[in-house]
Amino acid sequence: MSDDLQIKKDLIAELTKAMEEAAVMSILLENNDNNIDAQNFWKKKVKIKKKIDELVDELFDDWAVDTIAVVSDLKAANNELEEEVKRAKNDYNNLQAIANGLKVLDKIINFSTKFI
């Protein structure tokens, strides 16, 4: 995962904590009949929520761009794997084809980890 994506994920996590705390403060203040401050905390919570939504949208956009970049590699690796499977089916004793197939599966796993 790129540093930029990790930074956004970390920001979302911290902003989510802040949003939750602002909501708790708002409720506590409202329960103590301090409605003005309760509303101020709630308004800040709503602003934080909007920032979180913006970051989530950016993460989805980044993910989509990363996905497009990797899809062709993934297709090529799947084609390689298909060829290695054909070779292995034709000759079970061909250990090289089996080893190559395992290497290609490693490539596929590595590509998929870019999205997780």
Tens digits of per-residue pLDDT, 23-77? Answer: 999 999 999 898 998 999 999 999 999 999 999 998 888 777 767 767 778 788 8
Cα 112 to Cα 51, 77, 97, 101: the distances in Å are 28, 12, 23, 17
Residue 53 exposure: Cα atoms within 13 Å on the Cβ side: 6
pLDDT tops 70 at residue 78: yes
The pair of structure tokens assigned to 108 is: 């596929």
The number of residues in the chain equals 116
Q: Which of 65, 57, 49, 41 is nearest to 16 (CA)?
A: 49
Q: Give domain limits for the chain.
A: 3-113
The pair of structure tokens assigned to 105 is: 């599966």
Q: Provide the mean pLDDT of the chain.
A: 82
Q: For the whole model, what pTM was predicted? A: 0.58
